[in-house]
Structure formats: C-alpha cells, structure tokens
A and B are shown apart, each in its own frame.
Chain A
Amino acid sequence: MILLAFLLQTIRIAIPYLLAAAGGVMSERVGVIALGLEGMMLAGAFGAVLGSYYGGSAWIGLVCAMSAGILVALLLALCTLRFRANQVVVGIAINLLVIGATRFFLRLAFDSASNSPRVDGFGGEGSGLGVLASFSNPLVWLGLIALPALWWLLWRTPFGLRARAVGEKPEAAATLGVNVSALRLRGLLLCGVLASLGGAYLALDQHQFTDSMTAGRGFIALAAIIFGRWMPMRVAAACLLFAAAETLQIQLQGAQLVPSQFVELIPYVLTIVALAGVVGKSVPPAALGKVE
C-alpha cells in the first residue's frame, strides 16, 4: 500500500518532467538548446487554463495549451533560426518574457496578477487518489508514452534520421538535400507542443493558473536530458528518478527524520553525482547551439 502510494506520487510528479524532457530532447537533437522549456511550460499552463475557462472543457484547454506552446516555439525559432541569435540568451529571454506575459494576460483576463479562477480539469471533486483516478487523466498516459514514442520517432523513422543528422552535422545533412532550417523548425514546434502539455498537466491538475506555477520544473527536465545523455529512454529513467527523489523527500520530511534543507538537496546531489561520471561520458549532439 505504501509502495503503491509512493509509485503513484512519483508518476504524478514525473509527468510534467517527462513531457517537457521529451520536448527538450527533440529540440536538442535537432541542434537547438532547450533553455526555453520553462517558458513553454508556463505558456502551456496559462493556455490550458484560458482554454478551459472560456471553452468550458479541459480538452479545449489542451488545444489552447498546445497553441500557446507553438507560439512560444515560433518566437524561439524566429530568433534562433531566422536571426541566428545566441540560443542561450534567447532561451533565458523567452523564460522571462513568458513570466511577464502570462502575468499581463492574467491581469487582462481575470483582473488578478496572481491566480486565475477555478477551471475544469480531468479529475472531479473527491475523486480520490486511487490507481483509477490517477490514470483517468489523459495527460498521464501522454506523459508516460511521450519519450518511448520519441525514441521510435528519432530512431525508427526517416524524419528521425534526418533530425539527428541535422543536430550532429548540419552541413552534411544539407549536402544530402535536407532542408536544415525547416527540419529544425519542425523539431522546435514539436518541442513547444510537448513542453506546453507538461505545463497544461500542472495547471489542469490544480484547476487554476497561478503566477510562475512551473517553479523551475523546466530546468529539472533539462537536467534530466543531460543526465539521460540525450537518449529518450535514459531521459525517461532520469525523470522518474528525479521524481522518485522528490517523492522520497516529501515522505521523509513527513517522517521528520532529517532536516528539510538536507532532504531538499537529494535531487541536486543525485544530479551532481551522476554528472561526475557515474553514468559515463555525456556527449551532446555535435551541432548543439552552433550558429552556422
């Protein structure tokens, strides 16, 4: 029973990481640094609430979330692919922009700078915490299959082969007739869709949007990507590991055995230990962040 509760909580915490990390892997595999994940998630969260509020259904919320993610991805693509701006700088700028923009539109739509009214989500009131309730949320399923599906896309389809080629050696891909920019654009848009769904999960799970509600989850997803060495299945494992550490932290803190500050360190210590060589050498896509 305790094990089941632990497992379910781990999955609930992991879903936003899994979705955002899937987007991040896609983006980095085509050679664009995924620093804007946090912003895409936040935009997705806001879009989901806006859609669900005005559309009256969580499904419309999902559509709006994806549109918001695509919008942010388009902006990112415009800056990095069209104007060849520094991807790190653009990524950080996008994150800041989305924090401000969501706050601005929150004020415009709901006359509050901090949270939205309650909206429809996927779980009803008093639905409990059982297995059935947890898996009635379609985003949970999406989150669980996102990275395996991405593995299939990247390693088993012509699109995937080209995408990886563009991320490793764009010149070579270009000489073989691959449209590098168009492919990167598609990768970025897919990234925007996936990351925004991660944000939508957070917002619909809370039934409302609150200012900066992603609280750094995009960066944890980014850490999972590096920890997982840009390999979808390893990244999925990393996301689940980070989520399990967080669950452990929540449960340990409840048992009051160790101070909360120490427990808070667990995910970061795990990351550092892993990066220090336990998982072997990390090799990012060769053309990652390169402006040709």
Chain B
Amino acid sequence: MRRTLYLLGALVAAHLLLLTISPSGATIAPEGEGLDIGIVFDVGGRGDKSFNDGAYLGGMLAADSLQARVRYIEPGEGSDREAGLRLLAAEGMDLVVAVGFIFTDDVLTLAREYPDVKFADVDFAVATDSLGNPLPLPPNLVALKFREEEGSFLVGALAALAGGSKKVGFVGGMDIALIHKFEAGYRAGVMHVCPDCEVIAQYAGVTPEAFKNPGKGKELALSQYQQGVNVIFHASGSTGLGVFEAARTTGRLAIGVDADQYSEAPGHVLTSMVKGIDAAVYDAAKAVQTGTFVGGVRVFGLAERGVGYVYDDNNRALIPDAVRSRLLALEADIIAGRIKVPNTR
C-alpha cells in the first residue's frame, strides 16, 4: 500500500515537472515583430537530408528574411501528428505548415476547426468527388503540390541518355498514387528519348513502413542492377538510402529525390530530382505576412521552378554536354506545353 502511494506520488511529481517543460520543438528566432510559424514534420523528421529538411530550410529562410518565429514539431507515430498540429493551431500561430501527404485528413479537420489560423500542407492529397472534380478546400488552407512527374520526366530522359543501358530502374516507396506520379513521369521520360528501352519499376511495400526500410531498398536495387540496369531513380524516403548503398556496392548509378542527395554516395549519384519545398514554404509564409494568402491548391512545376534536377560540379562529368542540351530542350518543350507529361500510370 505504502509503495503504491510512493509510486503515485512520484508519478504526480514527474507529471508536474513535465508540465513545466514547454512542448517539443525550439524557438529559433529571437522574440520580436513578425510571423509565428509552426512546422510539423513527416515521418523521418529533421535531418532526413531530403523532404523534411526542405521544409526546414523554408522555415529558416522565413526566420531570416521575414523575422518569423518558427517552431518545429517532430511527431512520433500516428496520433501525434494531429496533436502536433492542434497544439500549434491552439497557440495561435499565424501559419501552420504540415509536411507530407500523411497529414491530409488531419490538416483538413483542423483548418475547419481553427478558421483564423492559416494552414499549408506540402503534398496535400486533394479529394475528388465521384466525377473526379477536386473538392473545394477551406479558405485558410493552401495545398502545396508539385508536378513531380515533370522533374521525373527529365531525370528519366537523363537515365536513358547517360546510363549506357537499355534497361533503367525505378524503386518506389509505398505503392500509392503520389509515388506513381514519379514513376509515370520517369517512364514517359525514358520512353520519349529511347522508345525501345525497358523500365523496371518496383515498390518496397504497401504500408508507410515502405518509406523507411533501407534493407528492402538495397535488395530491390541489387536485383535490378543484376538484371542489367545501370541507373536507378528512387522515390522512397529512407528506403532509398539502401538504393545508394547498392549503387556503391555494385559501382553503378542512382538518382536521388526531393533534395540533392549527392553526399549519400559520392560518384554514384547521377543527379537528384529536386522539389522546391523550401521555396514553397517560404512563399506561403510571405503570403501570410503580406496579407496576400489565398487558400486552395497551388501547383509548382518546371515553369514555376518548383521541380528540377541537379546539374553542378559534382555530376557534370557524368552528364555529356549533348545530353545536357537535349534536357534543356525537353524542359523548354514541357514548359511550353509541347510535351504533356502523364501523372498516372
């Protein structure tokens, strides 16, 4: 009995102690005028050298040039995501940024619940009615979407032109429409420049776990390389780190995603298909500050410089000049609408 009471006392004390600690995440900008921005990260969190770090960069940019105060939350599993968003919304942030399609339902609910708070969701999955028309979003929610298929088209063309094999590979994370966009664009890009090429496309799984299974990614990539593939494009989160590892083991090439992933396997990264998540997040913050924020869907493609591929000193040697100029021409064709890139398989 006494032990139970001690235990209870200790628990209450610990609880009170924890209450005095402010919730996770740190304020990085000094107090002052300006926006309050809250960012909730996707699976992987800060330091993933990819998707989340892009949003982090956007936040830092806003902190630097808009004097915004930025708070970050890295949710653990499942329900923490909604709790993180709710916490930030309830604290009266000016803008709450959710990073990832996985927040779609939560951010929609909260945007309706907190009409005075502005929300932005990267890769928000817009729901459609039975006729396939997008359903309207609340006026305080902006969906930041990217034409990943356009960037993927270009790296697909690059893989076919510079890879030196008629077989090119693709490793996706979770087998869902968002990732099919990458595959569809990539496939179209390969076929556009090399109609008799073959694309081997594989997915790591059908659950969100498929984005964090590097062991599986490595085995998928190894099996593709053994089938004669020279270049693999991955769109699979940290599963893709296994793809880079396979590229190192076999001495072949891989293409990164979301951010420049050159450092994952120097010498083995042909290029990376980059998404301008940082710029999109920064733009949203700026729009809130200048009062020009409009809800709805914002799409970033090649024309808006929202997607692209890396071409710098690290990979210039891997990309011949003729290929580079061919890619520039393709890019111009896509922007001008002369090439229509499919976004479904």
Residues of A within 8 A of B (CB): 5, 9, 12-13, 16, 99-100, 103, 107, 110-115, 123, 125-129, 202, 205-208, 210-213, 215-217, 246-247, 250-251, 253-254, 256, 260-261, 264
Pick the contact of B218 from A112, A206, A247 — CB < 8 Å? A206
Q: How far is the CA of A247 from the CA of B249 in the complex (A)?
A: 19
A202–B248 CB distance below 8 A: no
A129–B251 CB distance below 8 A: no
Q: What are 11 A-B pairs at a CB distance below 8 A? A: A12-B219, A103-B45, A113-B41, A113-B48, A114-B44, A114-B52, A126-B249, A250-B223, A251-B223, A254-B224, A264-B205
Q: Does B106 contact A (CB under 8 A)?
A: no
Q: How far is the CA of A100 from the CA of B95 in the complex (A)?
A: 28
When distances are taken between beta carbons in the complex, the residues of chain A under 8 Å from B43 are 211
A212–B212 CB distance below 8 A: yes
When distances are taken between beta carbons in the complex, the residues of chain B under 8 Å from A125 are 248-249, 251
Number of interface residues of B (CB under 8 A): 41
B242–A206 CB distance below 8 A: yes
A254–B202 CB distance below 8 A: yes
A253–B44 CB distance below 8 A: no
Given contacts A205-B215, A253-B203, whether A113 and B45 have CB atoms under 8 Å apart is yes
Give min CB distance, B234 to chain A, whole Å.
14
Q: How far is the CA of A254 from the CA of B250 in the complex (A)?
A: 18
A208–B45 CB distance below 8 A: no
**Interface 1/0 per residue, B35-73 and A, CB below 8 Å:** 000000101111111001000000000000000000000
When distances are taken between beta carbons in the complex, the residues of chain B under 8 Å from A100 are 76
Q: Which 9 A-B pairs have the closest CB atoms?
A: A112-B47, A113-B45, A215-B213, A114-B48, A114-B44, A210-B238, A126-B251, A206-B214, A253-B202
Q: Name which residue of chain B comes closest to A265, CB basis.
A: B206
Pick the contact of B215 from A99, A115, A213 — CB < 8 Å? A213
Given contacts A215-B216, A250-B219, whether A112 and B226 have CB atoms under 8 Å apart is no
Q: How far is the CA of A4 from the CA of B70 in the complex (A)?
A: 54
Q: How far is the CA of A215 from the CA of B118 in the complex (A)?
A: 35
Q: Does B82 contact A (CB under 8 A)?
A: no
When distances are taken between beta carbons in the complex, the residues of chain B under 8 Å from A247 are 219
Pick the contact of A213 from B52, B76, B214 — CB < 8 Å? B214
A216–B209 CB distance below 8 A: yes
B250–A210 CB distance below 8 A: no
Given contacts A114-B52, A129-B249, whether A211 and B213 have CB atoms under 8 Å apart is no
B212–A211 CB distance below 8 A: yes
Q: Name which residue of chain A comes closest to B200, CB basis.
A: A254
When distances are taken between beta carbons in the complex, the residues of chain B under 8 Å from A205 are 215, 218, 245
When distances are taken between beta carbons in the complex, the residues of chain A under 8 Å from B201 are 256
A264–B206 CB distance below 8 A: yes
B204-238 interface (Cβ within 8 A of A): 205-206, 209, 212-216, 218-220, 222-224, 226-227, 238
Pick the contact of A261 from B200, B206, B223 — CB < 8 Å? B206
Q: Does B241 contact A (CB under 8 A)?
A: yes
Q: How far is the CA of A112 from the CA of B44 in the complex (A)?
A: 9
When distances are taken between beta carbons in the complex, the residues of chain A under 8 Å from B48 are 112-115
Give min CB distance, A66 to chain B, whole Å.
20
When distances are taken between beta carbons in the complex, the residues of chain A under 8 Å from B46 are 112-114
Give min CB distance, B44 to chain A, whole Å.
4
Q: Give me 7 other A-B pairs in contact (C-beta within 8 A), A115-B49, A213-B213, A260-B202 excluded.
A: A5-B223, A16-B215, A115-B241, A202-B215, A205-B215, A210-B241, A260-B203
When distances are taken between beta carbons in the complex, the residues of chain A under 8 Å from B212 are 210-213, 215
Q: How far is the CA of A58 from the CA of B96 in the complex (A)?
A: 43
When distances are taken between beta carbons in the complex, the residues of chain B under 8 Å from A217 are 215
Pick the contact of A208 from B200, B241, B250 — CB < 8 Å? B241
Give min CB distance, A274 to chain B, whole Å.
22
Q: Name which residue of chain B comes closest to A206, CB basis.
A: B214
Given contacts A114-B238, A205-B218, A251-B223, whether A260 and B175 have CB atoms under 8 Å apart is yes
